[in-house]
Structure 1
Amino acid sequence: MSIDLGFLVFLNYDEDAGARQALDDGLSLFAHAEALGYDSAGVRVHHGVRTLTSPFPFLTAAALRTERIRLSTGIIPIGWEDPLRFAEDAATADLLSGGRLDLGLSSGFVKDAVDPADRARRVEERLSGIISAVRGDALGDAPFRSRDFAAADSTADVPASDDGDVAPLPHGPYASAPQELYAFPRSPGLADRLAYGAGSLSSALRAARLGLNLVLSTIHSEATGPTLGHTQAELIQRYREEFAQHHPDRTPRVALGRSILPILDDEDRGSFLRLKEFYDALVTDDGQYTDSSRGGGQASPLYAGDPAEIVERLAADPSLVLIDELVLTPLTELSVAQKKRVLTSVKQTVAPGLGISDRNLQPK
């Protein structure tokens, strides 16, 4: 198979003083991945915790330190996003990157006390608003008119028009009648690079109807197959069928996350073996949680050990033949140096066995 190879990291930190270091570490990982020939580098976004919360400034900084690699977000929780500001910030970052942004979205309405049908409706409305804003559609009446500015500042020297109404301000695009509101700037092709992180079949089908690409992670809320790979393979097929029905002129992209930990020598065994044992105690090789209190769903096992064995196990995953990109998700417990080692070993020892070429490898 011929697929792209990306990676996704969490930029977590322990103290407020460590935020700058976490950002710098993330930028160094992006540069390292580009030098290795990775196709994409991504970050996960969370709010209210010590991790990356503002992706667009970070991705803009990453764009200035790289030249080729695609820049992505694992997910951005849309429950906290205003469609207009999202479109403005995303387009600005995409233009500065030369059109290299791939933006993953998720529902972000986890704590809303609403019934499932209402929750689904609200998620779809927010997604539609973001898509429309990024696409350049009108978002409704402008919230300000020159009359409002004059009323807010009675000392302002604002000329009156012939009919007694307030004339447009000379330094802004405001008129005395309501205007439709659009997001500016616009970045060509960005709307086609929006994706949705689906954790269920229903959310994947919603993404297909809305014309969004698909991102699947290492966990899933449903267990319809004997392994996570079987469950996600069925979901991908259903998603592609639904997408073709609603958008026959486009071909969507599907990205799939997996945690891979090659163990090459005694140094790796000393660094990674205990971590491997910890994860093996949480999830079985077929993707079942060992703790029944976690409820339903499935998770990806940790693909750790000899690279040849990792390739054999991944090749047996039925979902991998249906995707466009395999996304490496290094474990959060790893140090920056360990993450760089994993990025290197996966690219050099696992990727070739999966048919992932070195077409993007930078010359030394």
Structure 2
Amino acid sequence: MKKIGFLSFGHWSDHPAYNTRTAGDTLLQSIDLAVAAEEIGIDGAYFRVHHFARQLASPFPLLSAIGAKTSKIEIGTGVIDMRYENPLYMAEDAGAADLISGGRLQLGISRGSPEQVIDGWRYFGYEPAEGETDADMGRTKALEFLDKLNGDGFAEPNPYPMFPNPPGLLRLEPYSEGLRERIWWGAGSNATAIWAAENGMYLQSSTLKNDESGKPFHIQQAEQIRLYKEAWKKAGHEREARASVSRSIFALVNDQDKQLFGQQTNSSDKIGYIEANKRAIFGKSYAAEPDQLIKELAQDEAIQEADTLLLTIPNTLGVDYNVHVLSSILKHVAPGLEWR
């Protein structure tokens, strides 16, 4: 069995081919898609977070709304750039969203990735400490966020409070028990995957990673997941490790599918640079008729290693078409790979 979720980048633009012309369109359609996805048996609704772009940027209102309108589906991000975050305020927002959903939040965070503007986190009022890089700052904030999710008191209470305080130091409220155990780290390298395991975070491995061996993408990603699992076991965590991968996968079952995605049938890995002087490898997209798709996906070692598969969706094509995309995978592909 494998959990199958969707990952939306949340694009919008005033383009004649888009069903998401405005930010409001994207937000409301994201809620509707999560509701529909739960109804057809999808396990997770995940959303990218990008600042200074016509994409989803403030996840907690959206996650809370989805949590209030669904009952089973996992709700998460992939990923929140911690360089932009106040860890304490974020812990409050995350606790509230998790309580609204009944404990279904699966929050993906990371140290950040290339962005639309230069050092965008500076506009949010954040600067790395002396001797730190912005990546260091992101990881430091992540650890503080994890610490505050433990629910331990740390703040000295006012001796003359507006309302009576419980005894001892005060923690952040609202506190959601168990959320600390449902935080995922978006790792671009083997080393950061191991770091995530050591710090008790689940692993989100995307459709790109640092090219560390020159091997095909899915093999490098599978090796990353195995290293993560070994580090998790060595760390002695009591709960089971989890690892997700994301893929663009389209089952071509009608003429519209073939028109939109038929050109991707010969997709292959790509090499590029996500940061200056840092070579990255990008995984290929999959698009084929179901029988061929099953054969190709059976060879993807990283999908086999992961317990969760996130299907990246073309959110601009609207709710109905994306429900069709997800349903096609569940109906025509998942059974043949014993994911269901």
Please give the range of the TM-score, normalised by the shorter of the 2 chains.
0.7 to 0.9
Q: Structure 1 residue 180: deviation in Å? A: 4.2
The amino acid across from 1:245 in the alignment is K
8 Å contact from structure 1 (residues 45, 75) kept in 2: yes
The amino acid across from 2:28 in the alignment is D
8 Å contact from structure 2 (residues 112, 135) kept in 1: no
2:86 is matched with which residue? 82
**Does 1:198 pair with 2:198?**
no
**Does 1:63 pair with 2:67?**
yes
Matches of residues 285-296 of structure 1 in structure 2 within 5 Å? Answer: 285=268, 287-289=269-271, 296=279
Q: Structure 1 residue 47: deviation in Å? A: 1.4
1:133 is matched with which residue? 148
8 Å contact from structure 2 (residues 83, 137) kept in 1: no
**SS of match in other structure, 2:22:** helix
Q: Return the match for 1:46 from 33, 38, 50.
A: 50
2:32 is matched with which residue? 28
8 Å contact from structure 1 (residues 132, 139) kept in 2: no
Change in 2 beyond 3 A, CA 1:173/1:6: same
- Give the percent of matched residue pairs that are identical in Structure 1 and Structure 2: 32
Change in 2 beyond 3 A, CA 1:120/1:95: same
For residues 342 and 42 of structure 1, the distance between their equivalents in structure 2, rounded to whole angstroms, comes to 16
**Does 1:168 pair with 2:160?**
yes
1:10 is matched with which residue? 9
Q: Return the match for 1:345 from 315, 328, 332.
A: 328
Q: Structure 1 residue 346: deviation in Å? A: 1.1
Q: Structure 1 residue 117: deviation in Å? A: 6.9
**Does 1:124 pair with 2:107?**
no
What per-residue deviation string (whole Å, max 9, x for no partner) do you get for residues 138-184 of structure 1?
Answer: 44556xx5xxxxxxxxxxxxxxxxxxxxx603436499xxx845211
For residues 58 and 93 of structure 1, the distance between their equivalents in structure 2, rounded to whole angstroms, comes to 9
**SS of match in other structure, 1:68:** coil
Change in 2 beyond 3 A, CA 1:234/1:78: same
Structure 1 unmatched runs, 5+: 146-166, 358-364
Relative to the length of structure 1, the TM-score reads: 0.80
1:323 is matched with which residue? 306
**Does 1:245 pair with 2:260?**
no
The amino acid across from 1:105 in the alignment is I
**Count of aligned pairs between the two proteins:** 323
**Does 1:100 pair with 2:95?**
no
1:213 is matched with which residue? 202
Change in 2 beyond 3 A, CA 1:228/1:99: same
The amino acid across from 1:252 in the alignment is A
8 Å contact from structure 2 (residues 272, 282) kept in 1: no
For residues 250 and 160 of structure 2, the distance between their equivalents in structure 1, rounded to whole angstroms, comes to 62
1:308 is matched with which residue? 291
For residues 296 and 198 of structure 2, the distance between their equivalents in structure 1, rounded to whole angstroms, comes to 33
8 Å contact from structure 2 (residues 80, 110) kept in 1: yes
The amino acid across from 2:337 in the alignment is L
**SS of match in other structure, 2:334:** helix
**Does 1:231 pair with 2:213?**
no
Structure 2 unmatched runs, 5+: 15-19, 122-126
For residues 297 and 21 of structure 2, the distance between their equivalents in structure 1, rounded to whole angstroms, comes to 39
What per-residue deviation string (whole Å, max 9, x for no partner) do you get for residues 72-122 of structure 1?
Answer: 111111111112111111111111111111000011375389799745543
For residues 320 and 105 of structure 1, the distance between their equivalents in structure 2, rounded to whole angstroms, comes to 21
Change in 2 beyond 3 A, CA 1:199/1:116: farther
Change in 2 beyond 3 A, CA 1:337/1:6: same
For residues 278 and 290 of structure 2, the distance between their equivalents in structure 1, rounded to whole angstroms, comes to 32
Matches of residues 180-195 of structure 1 in structure 2 within 5 Å? Answer: 180-195=169-184
> Over alpha carbons, which structure has the higher Rg?
1
The amino acid across from 1:251 in the alignment is E
